[in-house]
Amino acid sequence: MFNKIGSVILLVDDMERSTQFYKDTIGLKLKVKTTDWIEFFDKGTTLALHPRKRKGKDESDDGHPNVLVGFMVSDLDQVAKDLKSKNVRFFKEPKSEPFGKHAIILDPDDHLISIAEIQSTTSTEEFDLIGFLGAE
């Protein structure tokens, strides 16, 4: 069902400041950089940065934490069906995106868990793993 943790996503206030910290200060290798999505590391689990709306120190405007875990799956439709049969709550219903398919579920403590089925030929430049901008 779940293949691996594809990314850990940090919601940040200042993309440039955070990019400078992770790239220049601690020396992570930059993989992808767009206005709303930055990835570090070429292989394995990705550390990603994504802008957030600021409310409190530890929460975004929607009340959810500022760190997400992104899982990779091979068949999002089947995974979503299985999760719905187990009464898992969806923050973002499964949706086709430029990079493949994507959904966000909530764990029992309302942590956001991103689930993505990535098309292997897709550029990551349009990759919005979190999907807050288009969350339903």
Structural domains for the chain? 2-134 (3.10.180.10)
As given in the structure block, the two tokens for residue 14 are: 């200042």
The alpha carbon of 86 is separated from its chain's Cα centroid by a whole number of angstroms, namely 22
How far is CA 71 from each of CA 7, 76, 96, rounded to the nearest angstrom?
Answer: 7, 11, 16
Whole-model pTM: value is 0.68
* pLDDT tens per residue across span 77-89: 999 999 999 999 9
* pLDDT tens per residue across span 18-39: 999 999 988 899 999 998 999 9
